Amino acid sequence: MLTLAVRRLVFSIPTLLAVIVGSFFLMHAAPGGPFARARQVPPAIEQRLEAHYGLSKPVFEQIIDYIGGLLRGDLGPSMIYQDKSVLDIIAEGAPTSALLGISSLLLALFVGGSLGALAALRQNKSQDHLVMAVAVIGVCLPPLVVGPLAQMLFGVQWRVLPTAGLHRDEVGLVYLILPVLTLSLPMIAVISRLMRASMIEALRSNAIRTARAKGLPERTVMLKHALPIALLPIVSYAGPALAGVMAGSFVIEKVYQLPGIGAQLVLAAGQRDYTLVMGVVLVYSVLIILANLAADLLYSVLDPRTRAT
């Protein structure tokens, strides 16, 4: 397993390098600049600012300096937020984004897995049809649609949940209910369909027939034999699901006005804060790589046959 982890980490180095170079050139190719929107800044001051942040250097020299800073663990200073580094800004928004993302993913895995298993055990019955109908609706409704709709119903019409903002205390966790539900709904739909299909396939396998022929209790057959087989596609989906959580958090944090990394990225992209955008993209890329690695390792535990690949 250690060999698998090391091999995957080594193979991820070219991916990270491509992300760094790609995000750098995409940001620098975008029209405007970090100081172009500051109408009150005279041209001479703007030139001094560009020289201070190294933007007056040739672009290839800039990227070499940037990669050199990354090797030292320095993501650079923010070009918009005065006296703040990119690491400081990411650290401020990380707790909110982590709480939102982890809560949404865990909720989706639990609810989606449970509904999918229920649908498989009640195949072609009313419970199965109901779960699949809800799953189809969930897949068709993106967070950009669900978010404002949930705000209107639960916050404006019924007034049972807050619609935006976040307070860092026990009561403030109520502010995360709508964002978590909004972000997890599409994943619940996908996971329930995956779980249903994989559970049905597992129940039809020779291993389950053998376990039942031995006279094992149905509970043991389900939990010790069918469930590990059915979980394999769910584990494989966990890595891409985290990528979906991160992409969805950009919209969710903006809709619900949460002070997370996703909201900072949207704001930084609009203001052409090169270093902040590249830093957030790099951090998200590292998290996705680590999540996929964790999913691969867990998959190898559930299915030892994959350890040799």
pLDDT grade, residue 172 (50/70/90)? low
Is there a domain that residue 296 lies in?
no
How large a percentage of the chain has pLDDT more than 90?
36
Q: Residue 216 belongs to what H/E stretch?
A: none
DSSP 42-88: -HHHHHHHHHHTTTTS-HHHHHHHHHHHHHTT---B-SSSTT-BHHH
Mean per-residue pLDDT of the chain = 86
Quick one: pLDDT at residue 171? 45
Q: What is the DSSP string of 242-255?
A: HHHHHHHHHHHHHH
Q: What number of other Cβ atoms are within 10 A of residue 240's Cβ?
A: 15
Whole-angstrom distance, CA of residue 266 vs CA of residue 282:
15
In-domain check, residue 300: no
Q: What amino acid is encoded at 175 in this protein?
A: Y
79 occurs within a structural domain: no
Our measurement of the distance from residue 148's CA atom to the centroid of its chain's CA atoms, rounded to an integer in Å, reads 20
Q: Please tell me what DSSP assigns to residue 46.
A: H
In a domain, 169, yes or no: yes
**Euclidean distance between CA atoms 211 and 225, whole angstroms:** 8
The three-state secondary structure class of 162 is coil
Confidence bin at 50 (pLDDT 50/70/90): confident
Q: Is residue 294 part of a domain?
A: no
Question: How far apart, in whole angstroms, are the C-alpha atoms of residue 285 and residue 282?
Answer: 5
Q: Give the pLDDT confidence of 248-262 residue by residue, as tens digits.
A: 788 888 888 888 888
- Cα→Cα distances 136→131, 191, 193, Å: 9, 12, 9
Give me the mean pLDDT over the 216-233 stretch.
87
> Where is 96: in which H helix or E strand?
helix 86-121
Distance CA 168, CA 175 (A): 10
**What's the confidence (pLDDT) of residue 38?**
53
The residue assigned the tokens 């129940």 is 203
245 within some domain: yes
216: domain range? 87-264
- Residue 147, domain CATH: 1.10.3720.10
**Higher per-residue pLDDT: 302 or 191:** 191
According to the model, what pLDDT value does residue 304 have?
67
pLDDT, residue 179, reads 92
pTM for this model (two decimals): 0.84
Per the domain annotation, does 274 fall within a domain? no
Question: How many domains in the chain?
Answer: 1
Best CA proximity match to 110, nearest among 251, 289, 284, 238: 238
Structure tokens at 207: 């291993």
Task: Tell me if 184 is assigned to some domain.
Answer: yes
| pLDDT at residue number 95 | 87
pLDDT greater than 60 at residue 308: no
